[in-house]
């Protein structure tokens, strides 16, 4: 079976990637607890993403730098701005919307750069953090065991975003989409929202590898996990202001590059997501940082596609779509959502 495609987009926008330098940055002390001595800088992104795509005639026309758990969102944006990265055309900055001084923070962020487009605060929480054994993200140790989506203070901060013409990148677990997010964001129909990483259904085939080290042969997906994910994504798709990023696919299916069966199953989930939201509300993202495995699976697998392989897999996933629809998925939706001229 060939899983590549004769179609390549002429141009792409990457609406989700991170720069990191826990060696030198004083505003990344929280991140450095989990990613010590890690660097991922513009030269790395150019080498790993932009240049491989350019070799097959695909031009990266813009990217969106997304926050990476900084101690201070303003300092992170200033750091990237100081590097004068030509392809970074927009920012999604960090801000804890429950903070008492959140409006002051938003004003300072807006004043830092004209390229600020949105805010993210990682919210994946299904209980206390258990070293990555559940859907609770390490970022939520900043408020361990508390689902901020349910906090009145969070909604108070969320309500300010439209005033500053900012969107919200929503990263949470599927059960949070069902229990809280659909109702909460339904109260703000003019606020642009983008669900990160396809709504994050988790390890639907189980672990990539068995305890003995061999590849997990299971090809029966976890229908209980998918039932919750489908309920959440269906509810969110009914809100016309909500978009979704097709990214970090290895979190859903760790080690999906290893076998044809895994790739076929992942393809079905990607297409299901697009059918729910439509091509005008879906966007491909590379989520690039550190290396291919980390970018793809968030440490749930040691393998992942490189930038060109991911492009080729998406082209295969999109077989049967019109070139116009593919162009929306690879660039058009992201340009529109993040107001990239």
pLDDT in tens, 142-196: 998 899 999 999 999 999 999 999 999 999 999 999 999 999 999 999 999 999 9
CA distance 196 to 252: 12
Other Cβ atoms closer than 10 A to 285: 26
The predicted structure's pLDDT at residue 166: 98
Q: Above 70 in pLDDT, residue 3?
A: no
The edge-to-edge listing of strands for the beta sheet with 242-246 is 11-17, 59-66, 88-94, 116-120, 167-170, 193-195, 242-246, 282-284
The Cα–Cα gap between 257 and 119 comes to 32
Give the C-alpha separation, 208 to 251, whole Å.
10
321 touches 238 (CB < 8 A): no
Beta carbons of 58 and 12 less than 8 angstroms apart: yes
pLDDT of residue 65: 98
pLDDT at 7: 86
> Measured between alpha carbons, how far is 80 from 318 in angstroms, rounded to an integer?
33
pLDDT, residue 341, reads: 87
More confident residue, 132 or 60: 60
Average pLDDT over residues 69-93: 98
Share of the chain above pLDDT 90, in %: 96
pLDDT at 5: 55
DSSP class of residue 57 equals: T
pLDDT in tens, 269-325: 999 999 999 999 999 999 999 999 999 999 999 999 999 999 999 999 999 999 999
Q: Is the pLDDT of residue 2 over 80?
A: no
Q: What percent of the chain has pLDDT over 70?
A: 99
DSSP states of 304-320: ---HHHHHHHHHHHTTT
**DSSP assignment string, 82-131:** HTT-TTEEEEEEE--TTSTTHHHHHHHHHHH-TTEEEEE-----SSS--T
Contact 73, 27 (CB under 8 A): no
Q: Which residues pair with 64 in a beta bridge?
A: 90
Q: What distance in Å separates the CA atoms of residue 262 and residue 269, rounded to the nearest whole number?
A: 11
Q: Which two tokens stand for residue 178?
A: 């069902």
Spatial separation of the C-alpha atoms in residues 123 and 147, rounded to whole Å: 7
Instruction: Tabulate helix, strand, coil % of the chain (nearest 5).
Output: 45, 15, 40
46 neighbors 63 (Cβ within 8 angstroms) = no
What is the rounded CA–CA span in Å between residue 18 and residue 88?
11
Q: CB of 82 within 8 A of CB of 33?
A: no
């Amino acid at each position: 079976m060939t899983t590549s495609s004769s179609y390549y987009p002429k141009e792409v926008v990457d609406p989700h990637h991170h720069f990191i330098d826990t060696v030198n940055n004083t505003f990344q002390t929280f991140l450095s607890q989990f990613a010590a001595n890690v660097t991922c800088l513009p030269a790395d992104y150019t080498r790993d993403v932009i240049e491989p795509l350019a070799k097959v005639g695909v031009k990266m026309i813009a990217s969106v730098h997304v926050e990476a758990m900084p101690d201070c969102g303003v300092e992170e944006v200033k750091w990237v701005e100081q590097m004068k990265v030509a392809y970074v055309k927009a920012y999604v900055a960090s801000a804890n919307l429950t903070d008492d001084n959140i409006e002051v923070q938003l004003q300072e962020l807006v004043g830092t750069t004209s390229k600020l487009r949105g805010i993210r605060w990682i919210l994946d929480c299904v209980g206390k953090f258990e070293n990555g054994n559940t859907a609770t993200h390490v970022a939520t140790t900043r408020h361990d065991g508390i689902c901020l989506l349910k906090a009145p203070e969070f909604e108070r901060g969320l309500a300010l975003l439209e005033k500053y013409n900012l969107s919200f990148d929503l990263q949470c677990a599927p059960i949070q989409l069902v229990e809280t997010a659909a109702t909460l964001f339904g109260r703000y129909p003019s606020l642009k929202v983008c669900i990160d990483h396809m709504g994050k259904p988790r390890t639907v085939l189980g672990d990539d590898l068995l305890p003995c080290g061999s590849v997990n042969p299971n090809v029966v997906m976890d229908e209980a996990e998918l039932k919750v994910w489908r309920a959440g994504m269906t509810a969110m798709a009914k809100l016309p202001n909500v978009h979704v990023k097709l990214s970090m696919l290895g979190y859903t299916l760790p080690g999906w590059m290893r076998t044809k069966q895994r790739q076929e199953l992942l393809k079905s989930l990607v297409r299901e997501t697009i059918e729910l939201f439509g091509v005008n509300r879906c966007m491909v993202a590379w989520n690039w940082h550190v290396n291919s495995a980390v970018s793809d699976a968030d440490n749930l697998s040691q393998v992942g596609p490189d930038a060109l392989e991911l492009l080729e897999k998406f082209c295969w996933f999109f077989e049967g779509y019109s070139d116009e629809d593919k162009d929306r998925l690879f660039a058009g939706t992201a340009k529109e959502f993040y107001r990239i001229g």
